[in-house]
Structures are given as structure tokens and as C-alpha cells.
Amino acid sequence: MRAAQRGDPLAMDALLTELAPWVGRICSSIALDKGDDAMQETLISVLKNLPTLREPAALRGWVRRIAVRQALRAVTGDRSVPVADVPEAATVPDFETSVDVRETLKKLSPQRRAVLVLRYLEDLSEQEVAEMMGTPEGTVKSGLFRARETFRDQWREA
């Protein structure tokens, strides 16, 4: 981590190996077909700005924020998506479902997908999601409710 911050190419490469599966999951869950572009932009941004990260322990929260922003940017073309600071989540949930997650995600707006990813994939609290997305907590709650409804409908169809 420190070596990667100093610009050691081998350490940077190792960091890519470590981050790629996780970043790829966040990016493609939000940006869907543009997930690979979003992942590439995220990883570039992470490596470029790595020296500015003072606390290595904050890495995951910081990378997550960049990934969500890049994913939303890739799919909406919006360059001003507000994504604020959030603390690192300690656990990752077991969000297993028999429905086709990808098909259901397609039916949601990118912002709602991001909310869903942060809440269920990244296990942030509703308050943390609201802070990160820069929206009121109520909006996050209603968004999650709709998203769950969509999943339920999809499951019934299947």
C-alpha cells in the first residue's frame, strides 16, 4: 500500500489485483454494460490520487466512493454526481437471490441501482447511503422500497 503510494509499479499492479473483483462488482452493478469502462476509470483515478490518501485504512471507503461516482458518470454522462464521504463498512451481506439480478437492475434508474448496491452489496446503513449519494434519507428509503418491489415482481414472474 505504502509502496503503491510511492509509485512502485509492482505494488500498484498488486493493488489492482486486490481491488479489481470488488470494484468490478460495484461498477457493473450500477453501470451494467458500461461497467468495464467505469472500472477502468475508477482504477485510474484510484492509482493517480493514491498519494493524496493519508490513511491507508480509509482505502476501501475512498475507492468505493470513486467507483460509485465513475459508474454513475459512465451510465448517465453526468459529471456532477455528488458523492460524499462515508465510513468503511465492516461487513458484506449475503445478498443471495434466485432472481436474475441483472435483469432486475436494468429496470431501475442508475441512481436507484447505486442506492441498492450501497445498501445491500456494500452493507452501508440507509443514513450512510444518503450521505454518500447526497440525497435525503427519506429518498433512499423510498428508493430501496421500490427496488425491493421490482425484485419481488421479477421473482414472481420467474
Partner 1 sequence: MATMDRPIHVVGGGIAGLVAAITAAEAGAPVVLHEASGRLGGRAVGSAERPWVNLGPHVVFTDGALARWLRQRRIDIPMRGPLVRGLRLLDDRGTAFPIRHGLRLLPSIVRHDAPVDDTFRAWTEETFGGSTAELMCRLGGLITYHHDPGSLSARFMWERYRRSILSSDRVRWIAGGWLTLVDTLTERARTLGVRIELDDRLTRQALPDAPTVVATKLAAASRLLDRDLRWPGARTALLDVATAPDRGWPSVVADVRSDLATCCMIERETAPDPGALREEHAELIQAQLGVAADVSVAEGVARIEDGLDNGFPGWRESVQWRRAQILVDGVGAVDPPGTTWRDRPAVDQGDDVYLAGDAVASPGLLSEVSVNSGVHAARLALDARRRRAFAPGWPSVELTPERRLAVLAAVLPNASVETSTHVDRDVEPVDETGLGYRLEHRAGLTRATAVTASDADVRVMTLVASGLPKPARRLLERLPGRLRPWRR
* Amino acid letter, 82: P
Under the binding rule (CB under 8 A), the answer on residue 134 touching partner 1 is: no
What's the grid cell of residue 48? 493517480
106 or 134, CB closer to partner 1?
Answer: 106
Closest CA to 134 of 87, 85, 89, 84: 84
Q: Would you give the binding string for partner 1 spanning residues 88-107, x where CB under 8 A is met?
A: ---xxxxxxx---xx--x--
Q: Which of 1, 3, 13, 149 binds partner 1 (CB under 8 A)?
A: 13
Q: Would you give the binding string for partner 1 spanning residues 39-58, x where CB under 8 A is met?
A: xx--xx--xx----------
Closest CA to 66 of 23, 28, 25, 11: 23
Q: Report phi then psi at 140, rounded to 5.
A: -60, -45
Distance CA 158, CA 147 (A): 17
Report the run of H or E that residue 43 belongs to, with start and end.
Answer: helix 35-49
Q: Which of 59, 68, 86, 121 binds partner 1 (CB under 8 A)?
A: 121
Question: At closest approach, how far in Å is the CB of 141 from partner 1?
Answer: 21
- Size, binding site for partner 1 by CB under 8 A: 35
47 or 132, CB closer to partner 1?
Answer: 47
For helices 59-76 and 9-31, what crossing angle results, to 10°? 50
Chain residues in the site for partner 1 (CB under 8 A): 8-10, 12-13, 16, 20-22, 24-25, 27-29, 32, 35-36, 39-40, 43-44, 47-48, 91-97, 101-102, 105, 120-121
